[in-house]
């Protein structure tokens, strides 16, 4: 009978590893066995790193035996396939990078290695992180562990699904417009997008450089805090990375929200929202009031312009960032009679439909005669959205909203209507435009037993506030996790 160590939280597993009650090899073996059993129905991973993971586990066991090992030593993690991992292919779920093996590690991968974390595999995602459902992967979609007919969310769907299905104890994602928080909501796990610049982006394949941010998935707020502590901090190789000292996020989890002022934006409770989603968020707000927090209605008046602004800024930056995939320097090459033909045919064959759509949108927005009308105007709207949040935080310490208007939708349901798909991120995009920290935490289920996520948003570098509030909600025990179908 399997020991099911893979179902432990990071905090519990770390405690058992240090006490020598279990070994990293046993824990990793259970995760790898779970991956082998679940992947035919789930497809959360693009590459499973069994050999590398077991080597890392043996090294972690030696380190644990010597004592003084960090909290993540011996902990099996999934890594979104957008991070450079030395010696392990990094595809970004795209045919254009299908066989690309980086010669170096991303900064956060270096930090996890230094702590002795174990990488069980590279997780599935929307191609180049462009999507809200992980259906845009060149290697096929990831299924939701709670209902395999439904999406896991995107673009970090594989990372969220792997944690929810107990294939690993935590994972890494990236969030450009909701790509951590939305899949966390759909899969019923915790996902945090830190403040822009809190975590280094060096070695993370760029989508939209002024919006992208690294963050963790976990099955508890405490576990997310443990991972974030390792990820965060100054990196001289990323000029946008903040030099602010990194607090001990786990120490912020006091359970005390007695004087917390919670803002509830009227623009985020809109017509067309799934009633069960609103009911769960309202119920969670009452729980906070019972803990001594107060709620106040606030307004974020430029919310309605966020999607339009985002899909101009993000696609313009994507157009510039993806110009490097030309068939000449690295990645896929389709030989042709001259360099122009090589460039065109390589990109035509290597990129999927959604990536091509966003490149064309961005190229148009940046083209002569349209820059001021589109890209520049979108940046001005971005400033207005940031100002909305600044004014709101004069009245409150934390903002609570839904993560998404609905629970996980069916695979294929929105693929033929890009605009409807883009609207899935209506509650998350503003956070990226403003550079704020945001977290999704499970707060309920709908009538189909699908998870519902609550979004907690704080001022810049106030990750401790959202972690403290999220942990306090978990302690109430009002949300009861349900075993996934897979």
**Domain positions in the chain:** 1-486
Phi and psi of 135, rounded to 5°? -85, -15
> Which of 132, 156, 171, 179 is flagged as catalytic?
179
Alpha-carbon distance of 391 to 295, in angstroms, equals 16
pLDDT at 2: 55
* Catalytic hit among 14, 94, 133, 155: 155
Which pLDDT does position 473 carry in this prediction? 98
Question: Which residue numbers in the chain have pLDDT < 70?
Answer: 1-2
Say how many Å lie between the first and final Cα of the chain, rounded: 18
- Catalytic residue flag (residue 7): no
Q: What is the mean pLDDT of the chain?
A: 96
Residue 399, SS3 per DSSP: strand
Output the CATH code of domain 1-486: 3.90.1300.10
Q: What number of residues does the chain have?
A: 486
The pTM assigned to this predicted structure is 0.97
Let me know if 80 is a catalytic residue.
yes
Q: Can you tell me the distance from the alpha carbon of 462 to that of 458, in angstroms, rounded to the nearest whole number? A: 6
Instruction: Give the model's pLDDT for residue 481.
Output: 87
The whole-number pLDDT of residue 171 equals 99
Other Cβ atoms closer than 10 A to 420: 12
What pLDDT does residue 368 have? 86
Catalytic residue among 14, 80, 94, 440: 80
């Amino acid at each position: 009978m399997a020991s099911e160590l893979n179902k432990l939280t990071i905090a519990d597993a770390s405690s058992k590893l240090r006490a020598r009650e279990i070994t990293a090899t046993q824990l990793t073996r259970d995760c790898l066995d779970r991956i082998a059993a679940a992947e035919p129905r789930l497809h959360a991973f693009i590459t499973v790193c069994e050999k590398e993971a077991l080597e890392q586990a043996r090294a972690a066991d030696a380190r644990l035996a010597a004592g003084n090992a960090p909290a993540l030593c011996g902990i099996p993690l999934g890594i979104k396939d957008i991070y450079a991992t030395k010696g392990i292919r990094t595809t970004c779920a795209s045919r254009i990078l299908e066989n690309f093996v980086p010669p170096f590690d991303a900064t956060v991968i270096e930090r996890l290695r230094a702590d002795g974390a174990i990488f069980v595999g590279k997780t599935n995602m929307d191609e180049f992180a462009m999507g809200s459902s992980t259906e845009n992967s060149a290697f096929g979609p990831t299924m939701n562990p709670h209902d395999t007919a439904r999406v896991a969310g995107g673009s970090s769907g594989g990372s969220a699904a792997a944690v929810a299905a107990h294939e690993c104890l935590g994972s890494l994602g990236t969030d450009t417009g909701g790509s951590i928080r939305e899949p966390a909501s759909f899969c019923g796990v915790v996902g945090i997008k830190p403040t822009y610049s809190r975590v280094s982006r060096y070695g993370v394949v760029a989508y939209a450089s002024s919006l992208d941010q690294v963050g963790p998935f976990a099955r508890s707020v405490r576990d997310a805090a443990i991972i974030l502590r390792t990820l965060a901090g100054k990196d001289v190789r990323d000029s946008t990375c903040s030099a602010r000292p990194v607090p001990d996020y786990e120490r912020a989890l006091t359970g005390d929200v007695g004087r917390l002022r919670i803002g509830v934006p009227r623009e985020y409770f809109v017509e067309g929202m799934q009633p069960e989603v609103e009911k769960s968020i309202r119920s969670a707000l009452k729980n906070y009031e019972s803990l001594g927090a107060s709620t106040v209605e606030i307004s974020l008046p430029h919310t309605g312009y966020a999607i339009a602004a985002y899909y101009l800024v993000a696609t313009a930056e994507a157009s510039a960032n993806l110009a490097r995939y030309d068939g000449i320097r690295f990645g896929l090459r389709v030989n042709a009679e001259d360099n122009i033909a090589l460039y065109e045919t390589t990109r035509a064959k290597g990129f999927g439909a959604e990536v091509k759509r966003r490149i064309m949108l961005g190229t148009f927005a940046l083209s002569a005669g349209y820059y001021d009308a589109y890209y520049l105007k979108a940046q001005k709207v971005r400033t207005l959205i940031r100002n909305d949040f600044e004014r709101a935080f004069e009245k409150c310490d934390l903002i609570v909203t839904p993560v998404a208007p609905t629970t996980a939708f069916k695979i294929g349901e929105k693929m033929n209507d890009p605009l409807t798909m883009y609207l899935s991120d209506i509650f998350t995009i503003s956070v990226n435009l403003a550079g704020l920290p945001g977290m999704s935490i499970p707060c309920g289920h709908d009538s189909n037993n699908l998870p519902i996520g609550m979004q907690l948003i704080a001022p810049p570098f106030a990750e401790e506030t959202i972690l403290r509030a999220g942990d306090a909600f978990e302690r109430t025990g009002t949300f009861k996790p349900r075993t996934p179908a897979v």
